[in-house]
Structure 1
Amino acid sequence: MEVSAEHQEVLEEFKEGIRKFAGLHDTVLFCSLHDSANTSPAGHVTNKTVSVWGSGGRIELTVARFMAIQAAIQPDCYQSMADGETWQANTSRKRVRKAVDRTLAHLDECLVLHQKTQELKQAEIFGVLEGGDIMEERLRSARETAKRPVGGFVLDGFHSAAMDQDVRAQLIKATSAELPEEKPRLLLGVGRPDEVISCVEAGVDLFESFFPFQVTERGCALSFNYTIDPDPETAVLELNGETPDVRKPNSNGDENMTPFEMNLKDKRYQDDFRPLVEGCGCYCCKKHMRAYVHHLLVTNELLGGVLLMLHNMAHYLGFFKALREAIAGDRLLDFKNRVLYCREGD
């Protein structure tokens, strides 16, 4: 939303939406209020406005401007304007209640304009569920939002850094029970594979794709195994404890690095002539070696980030494809065990 707000006039003059503008012809476009890959400053929400941050600083949005931006973007679906500043720990019950009330009021205003806007006739508006870590407010937000004519629901305030996994799962499960099963639930701010699986078990249908970007920014490559039934050769290697070396202890001091990635800036990869992940079919793994990507990263070449992003997106999308297949085949537990097992491989 931040980028679109900065370029609203350009998109309005173009008139055909951001999909055609950016050449994203086969992509489902969802527009969120904030970028989950970055933390937005708090304290800038009022009863009439919310704020987003672009390269030029803070941009204050009324419902009218927010909806005008959506009309210029022409997404497939988008979240309504919301007060999402209650995900921080120790937020008071009074503040959480106010956030729920504001979010419902914003939704009602957005719905009125949504129905009047020709450019959004084919788009779905998703109602946003707030409530912090207070079960009572979460349930109230879910029940009231479900009464509105929305196309789906956005579960906000469950960011990875903000909430314990078990608490998150309990709140999501209880909230999901209040929502109609035929409408999708999209979760903001959660991208780690183990957390994704936990949230799927709790009732989430859709996730953002910011996690591969964060991994790329760290100079890392996603490298976890999500194949339930490995090929015979890999199965024998695993049986003999000879699985490929894909993860080692964090050596760059980045506390945000997860067990699902390998740090390609590490010196151990300067003479490693294997692909990033054995068997990966992405362009980077088919054409380049770990040593080359390591060289690009330590010399600050832009191509390093490009190649990493190609791999990380391909790996992440492969994970979700396998996750969907596991759910369809009633093998989610096998899939979960596979992903979690591979976290402990080194």
Structure 2
Amino acid sequence: MMKLTISKVTGRARLGVITSLGQNGEKSLEVPGCLLYTKTASPPHLTHDTLQTIEGVPPVTHLTLSSLAEHQEVLEEYKEGIGKFAGLRDAVLYCSVGDPVTPSPSGYNTNKTVSVWGSGGRIELTPQKFMSLQSALKVDWFQCLSDGEVMPSGCSRKRAKKSVDRSLGFLDECLQLLGKNNELKEKVVIGAIEGGDLLDERLRSARETAKRPVGGFLLDGFQGSAMTSETKLNLISSVTAELPEEKPRFMHGIGRPDEVIACIERGVDLFDSSFPYEVAERGCALTFNHQYQPDPETAGGHPNPDRTPGLNVLDEAELCDKEKNGEDQTEKEDKEIDQSQMTSYEICLKEKRFREDFRPLLPGCTCYCCRNHSRAYIHHLLTVKELLAGILLIIHNFHHYFSFFHSVRGALREDKLQVLKEVIQRQTS
């Protein structure tokens, strides 16, 4: 059974470690932290060998039930679980109901079923079917079935109350079934806290879920833009205040560095790592600075001297590119690229200004991509639609994102989270 030990609390931000993980109980996961995001139980674009080249890969792998539910019969016949089936070796496995990258359409959940969407279409899950799926998957932790629809235009009081009632009902049924299943008795159930944007329903969900024998909590339904940032953060603060200190708090679909730090400040422990994947999918590389030490050469927060947190090269790149000929034509061509989803924490390698830029994606980065390839090469791969582009970008983005969480923990340890927050905020637009 996993155990969370909190070593330091700064405000509401918690520094600690989850121990007794894995089959032998020898693995541990530091918090605040993130999980390794996968699609159909595989890290996007990566083989297991290329995954080994990335520093700081989290020991807990995040699977999504929506991508695996349609393979239940195959897994039941295989009998060894998704971990062995997918070659995930000794990873600790956590399964969420939905995929933070592709939220399910709303309007399909009922009092008896929750719908998930896989490549073959919609699958309706009753608590019985859900638990039989967990028996086939054999993961270590799983989010319990819940009614966590994110409404694009906000949530009515009636709908919010219904989401809480349904989710508590599903949780009770699943826990009852869990007690009757010897294979699942040792698994950790993560209870989902629902309630839309209504404080009283969120608090009711948190208090009632905390009464059940769950191993952790998922603050669900905060992804997307249905709520204002202020509403989200106020709700998160109120909810975490109701939760027991000794159990971890999860959140999905929140990945931007500024949003992650804001949630950590309000007591959230674990996040998914779908953000670096989404950045790679739009042909972009993470380049944000997460160095909270004034002098990287003397920084004490990073025990590995070869691991240099990202240096901010956005201004430098702009300065160099303005000196090149044909800038006006380049800008005209770049207008054709859809940058509506881009953040200020990344650069788009599809832009023509990178075609003769032979620097690494991020000077100072020690990932495989930055040590061996240039921006110009990635630009070329993207231009000719070569699959290698996605592989190299996800290697870099995962490496950089995992090192960001390393910096967050270092900053908390050294009472410099506010410094790191200010560094991140200066890069936010």
TM-score range, shorter chain: over 0.9
Q: Give the deviation of 1:76 after TM superposition.
A: 1.9
Q: Aligned partners of 1:152 and 1:293: how far apart in 2?
A: 40
Q: Give the deviation of 1:339 after TM superposition.
A: 1.8
| Aligned AA (2:283) | G
- In structure 1, stretches of 5+ residues that fail to align are none
Q: State the Cα deviation string for residues 172-198 of structure 1 (Å, max 9, x = none).
A: 000111110100110122111110000
Counterpart position of 2:33: none
Counterpart position of 2:338: 253
| Aligned AA (1:98) | K
Counterpart position of 1:280: 365
Counterpart position of 2:268: 204
Q: Aligned partners of 2:180 and 2:154: how far apart in 1?
A: 40
Counterpart position of 2:394: 309
| Aligned AA (1:96) | A
1:290 and 2:369 correspond = no
Q: Which structure is higher in strand share?
A: 2
Q: State the Cα deviation string for residues 204-251 of structure 1 (Å, max 9, x = none).
A: 0011111111111111011101111242599xxx9xx99642899985
Q: Give the deviation of 1:325 after TM superposition.
A: 1.7
Q: Give the deviation of 1:29 after TM superposition.
A: 1.9
Counterpart position of 2:74: 10
Q: Give the deviation of 1:116 after TM superposition.
A: 2.5
Q: Give the deviation of 1:290 after TM superposition.
A: 0.6
Given the alignment, which residue of 259, 265, 288 partners 2:350? 265
Counterpart position of 2:17: none
Q: How does 1:78-97 map to 2 (within 5 A)?
A: 78-97=142-161
Q: What SS does the aligned partner of 1:306 have?
A: helix
Matched residues, number: 340
Q: How does 1:165-176 map to 2 (within 5 A)?
A: 165-176=229-240
1:140 and 2:204 correspond = yes
1:47 and 2:111 correspond = yes
Which deviates the most, 189-198 or 72-81?
72-81
Counterpart position of 1:113: 177
Q: Give the deviation of 1:82 after TM superposition.
A: 0.6
Counterpart position of 1:129: 193
| Aligned AA (1:320) | F
Counterpart position of 1:24: 88
Q: Give the deviation of 1:89 after TM superposition.
A: 2.9
Q: Aligned partners of 1:242 and 1:258: how far apart in 2?
A: 12
Q: What SS does the aligned partner of 1:119 have?
A: coil
Q: Aligned partners of 2:151 and 2:217: how far apart in 1?
A: 17
In the superposition, relative to structure 1, how do residues 309 and 137 fare at CA in structure 2: closer, same or farther (>3 Å)?
A: same
Q: State the Cα deviation string for residues 14-37 of structure 1 (Å, max 9, x = none).
A: 222222222223433211111010
| Aligned AA (1:245) | A
1:226 and 2:290 correspond = yes
Counterpart position of 2:405: 320
Q: What SS does the aligned partner of 1:146 have?
A: helix
Q: Which structure is higher in helix share?
A: 1
- In structure 2, stretches of 5+ residues that fail to align are 1-64, 300-310, 322-330
Structure 1 residue ranges, 4+ long, deviating more than 6 angstroms after superposition: 246-250
Q: Quick check: 1:88–1:162 contact (8 Å CA) kept in 2?
A: yes
In the superposition, relative to structure 1, how do residues 328 and 17 fare at CA in structure 2: closer, same or farther (>3 Å)?
A: farther
Q: Aligned partners of 2:298 and 2:377: how far apart in 1?
A: 27
Which deviates the most, 265-274 or 6-15?
6-15
Q: What SS does the aligned partner of 2:123 have?
A: strand
Q: Which has the higher contact order (CA 8 A, sep 6+)?
A: 2
Q: What SS does the aligned partner of 2:222 have?
A: coil
In the superposition, relative to structure 1, how do residues 87 and 187 fare at CA in structure 2: closer, same or farther (>3 Å)?
A: farther
Counterpart position of 2:245: 181
| Aligned AA (1:272) | D
1:335 and 2:400 correspond = no
Q: Quick check: 1:87–1:133 contact (8 Å CA) kept in 2?
A: no
| Aligned AA (1:2) | S
TM-score of the aligned structures, taking structure 1 as reference length? 0.92
TM-score of the aligned structures, taking structure 2 as reference length? 0.75
| Aligned AA (1:45) | N
Q: Aligned partners of 1:277 and 1:270: how far apart in 2?
A: 16
Please provide the CA RMSD for this pair: 2.3
Q: Aligned partners of 1:206 and 1:184: how far apart in 2?
A: 7
Q: Aligned partners of 1:306 and 1:86: how far apart in 2?
A: 31
Q: Aligned partners of 1:67 and 1:254: how far apart in 2?
A: 41
| Aligned AA (1:299) | V
Q: State the Cα deviation string for residues 76-115 of structure 1 (Å, max 9, x = none).
A: 2111111112443332101110110000000001111222
Q: Quick check: 1:224–1:343 contact (8 Å CA) kept in 2?
A: no
| Aligned AA (1:64) | Q
Q: Quick check: 1:86–1:96 contact (8 Å CA) kept in 2?
A: no
Q: Give the deviation of 1:40 after TM superposition.
A: 1.4
Q: What SS does the aligned partner of 1:127 have?
A: strand
Q: Aligned partners of 1:85 and 1:205: how far apart in 2?
A: 22
In the superposition, relative to structure 1, how do residues 86 and 220 fare at CA in structure 2: closer, same or farther (>3 Å)?
A: closer
Q: Quick check: 1:2–1:34 contact (8 Å CA) kept in 2?
A: yes
1:59 and 2:123 correspond = yes
Q: Quick check: 2:163–2:195 contact (8 Å CA) kept in 1?
A: yes
Identity %: 53
Q: What SS does the aligned partner of 2:231 have?
A: helix
Q: Give the deviation of 1:260 after TM superposition.
A: 0.7
